[in-house]
Structure 1
Amino acid sequence: MKIKNIKNVIFTGGGLKGWAYIGTIQALEELIDFEYLENVIGVSIGSAFGLFYLLGISHEYLLELVMNLNYRDLIDTQLDKILINESIMAGKKFKNFIKEIISTKIDPDITFLELYKFSKIVYTVNALNIDLYKIDYFNYKNTPNVKVIDSIVASCSIPMIFPPYKINEYHYYDGGLCNNCPLNLTDELNTIAFDVNTEMNTGNIKLFNLIYSFVYITNDYYNKSNDSNVVFQILDNRFKDQAFNLNQSKDDIFNIYMNGYINSRNIIYNNFIALK
């Protein structure tokens, strides 16, 4: 029998460590009664996988897709326009990749209001509004007419890697920069938050280390006043350098997925089933 007391699910950001969420989706499929779900909240890459889970896109489909993924198909470098566009990549290929996955279930240009009418689940994405210096939360209540895909791209727009993403008159960067786990949006009693961030990344690319420094410092300060026992790390420390590893092998991807599955399943069982 599947458990019914998880109503809110949060997927945090974490770059290419997000493949672990394929395993999380598998664990949720096996253990959680989807009919009782009320909120899905996603940040950065977690916003994409949160939507995939909400739409019922299977872990089998996602795993096969990423195991056959060529990262070069997602990279649209624009070295001649770095100063103009403020980024290394344009981000259009990434957007199209996410839209192709969404299109297996619904119109990839669906709005938040249309998504809520379709699913009856509140889907929320955050992104950093760099014009108003604040975090914006996209959902059917706050932004009913905004396209869901636009909020996902905005929330995944890592500074210097992707350009700031424009929605209406405002420009946005990665939601994980300031609030990578928005527990402020939920009742923690019936909430589980999955986190793919382990200890501080210490890769060889200093640009990525700089970005992660901002993320960790800002979120560490924010989370000190929001201590919670519903946030669970689903990846072992051995994967700490995988967030921006564009040289991931198929074995790397599979191991990240499997580690995410095993840990997610154990977390759900130990904290929501075994305690009953």
Structure 2
Amino acid sequence: MNNESIIKHLVISGGGIAGLTAYSILREANKSGIWNIENLVSIYGTSAGAIIGVFIALKYDWTEIDNYIIKRPWQRVFKFDIGSVLRSFDSKGIFGKKIIEEMLYPLLKGKDLEPTITMKELYEYSKIDIHIFSTEIHQYETIDISHKTHPEWQVVDAIYASACLPIIFMPYLKDGQCYTDGGITNNYPIYACLENGANPDEVLGITISKHEENKHFINDESSLFDYLTVILNKMYKQAYLASNKNKEYTIKYEIELENIIVSVYDFANISSSQEQRSLLLDTGVEIWNNFMDKCK
């Protein structure tokens, strides 16, 4: 593989905790020289992919982000108890936007950026065209949030609208619209990137496998959350297949991650374990190295 900085566009799918693996893949790809932040034109991300995209756009040193991901006591952010579960019946989700605020505010502050920074202001800071994808429930359509389409939207709101996985997170309500996880209608926005004129040879995409590596079955030991999680995963898969029917694309630099069904318990476990977060990052390093070997 030619290690020139040839990638100008990143496309990052949603995937819950797999987002940590996607992050480390992008980090290793950057270190290999295949892409450079100064040459990056656009980032397309859904849910966890949108969060990673904004992390990248803030232009931190990789070591700083690594330490933030691994060493921060995330269990203080993702507080999960019986009270939050009971309240979810009225609030339509266990966690709210405060999760994203607590996730992003320290990083924004570290760059002297306001917590209320808008999509337009983030573009002016980064010079990267960032597209964040959400699903509007009333019209059941994909919403592409960028500095062009929603310039005055706060970045925190855009990310939350993209990442608010049903049941785990409350939906985002704004101007009579109801926004939920972008993965429902467009978990991997590769077509949006290509339709906006990106050269396929200049795109690095990270997607989730369309095949379930680990089958999850509902049995007597399964909880309500297990049941709903499996249903949602099936819906996401069918929505992807339906929306991409008869569409074809070929990009040289695309990496497929294992399809892991994510439950509320996974969020709780990952948030409380530095070791598990480190393992997910290490997995990304291994995946990138294997990808590089195949490209030689």
The reply to whether residue 163 of structure 1 matches residue 170 of structure 2 is yes
Q: Which residue of 2 aligns with 1:215?
A: 236
What are the residue-to-residue correspondences of 1:16-55 with 2, within 5 Å?
16-30=17-31, 31=33, 32-55=35-58
Instruction: Name the SS of the counterpart of 2:93 in structure 1.
Output: coil
Q: Which amino acid aligns with 1:44?
A: S
Shift of 1:269: 7.4
Q: Is the partner of 2:151 in helix, strand or coil?
A: coil
8 Å CA contact 2:141–2:185 kept in 1: the answer is: no
Partner of 1:73: 76
- Superposed CA deviations along residues 129-156 of structure 1, whole A, max 9, x for unmatched, are 1122211101111111111111101101
Paired with 1:56 and 1:198, the residues of 2 have a C-alpha distance of 31
Instruction: Find out whether 1:123 has 2:130 as its counterpart.
Output: yes
Contact 1:17 1:243 in 2 (8 A): no
Question: Which residue of 103, 113, 131 maps to 2:109?
Answer: 103
| Aligned counterparts of 1:98 and 1:199: Cα–Cα separation in 2 | 32
Tell me the amino acid that sits aligned with residue 257 of structure 1: L
Distance 1:72 1:251, change over 3 A: closer
SS in 2 for 1:193: strand
Q: TM-score, normalised by structure 2?
A: 0.80
| Contact 2:37–2:59 under 8 Å retained in 1 | no
Residue 226 of structure 1 deviates from its aligned partner by 2.9
1:152 to 153, 159, 167: 159
Larger strand fraction of residues:
2
Shift of the 206–71 alpha-carbon distance from structure 1 to 2, 3 Å rule, reads farther
1:240 aligned residue: 260
Q: CA distance change for structure 1 residues 121 and 222 in 2, over 3 Å: closer, same or farther? A: same
Quick one: distance in 2 between partners of 1:131 and 1:166? 11
Secondary structure of the corresponding residue to residue 107 of structure 1:
coil
One-letter identity of the residue aligned with 1:53:
I
For structure 2, the 5+ residue unaligned runs are: 217-221
The change in CA–CA distance for 1:147 and 1:59 in structure 2 (over 3 A counts) is same
Point out the more displaced range, 42-51 or 131-140: 131-140
Q: Paired residue for 2:150?
A: 143
| Unpaired segments ≥5 residues, structure 1 | none
Match of 1:257 among 263, 276, 281: 281
Paired residue secondary structure (1:124): strand
Distance 1:242 1:79 in 2: 17
Q: TM-score by structure 1 length?
A: 0.86
Change (3 A) 1:42 1:226: same
- CA distances 1:139-181 after superposition (whole Å, capped 9, x unpaired): 1111111111111011010011111112343220000111111
Count of aligned pairs between the two proteins: 270
What's the CA shift for 1:194? 0.9
C-alpha distance 56-197 of structure 1, shift in aligned 2 (>3 A): farther
Whole-angstrom CA distance in 2 between matches of 1:270 and 1:57: 30
- The residue identity in structure 2 corresponding to 1:139 is S
8 A Cα contact 2:230 2:261, kept in partner: no
Matching of residue 92 in structure 1 with residue 98 in structure 2: yes
Percent of counterpart pairs with the same letter?
21
1:206 equivalent in alignment to 2:230? no
Structure 2 contact 205–254 (Cα < 8 Å) conserved: yes
Encode CA deviations 1:73-110: one digit per residue, 9 max, x unaligned: 22345334323211122342343222223332232321
Cα deviation 1:174-213 (Å, max 9, x = unaligned):
0011111112222223211112457425456222212211
Q: Distance in 1 between matches of 2:55 and 2:289?
A: 18
* Alignment partners' CA distance in 2, 1:167 and 1:189: 38
Contact 2:20 2:277 in 1 (8 A): yes
Query: 3-state SS of the aligned residue for 2:87?
Result: helix
1:170 and 1:83, CA in 2 relative to 1: closer, same or farther beyond 3 A?
A: same
SS of the equivalent of 2:241 reads helix
The farther-off stretch of 189-198 and 162-171 is 189-198
Moved more, 18-27 or 132-141: 18-27
Q: Quote the Cα distance in structure 2 between the aligned partners of 1:257 and 1:243.
A: 20
Tell me the amino acid that sits aligned with residue 189 of structure 1.
Answer: D
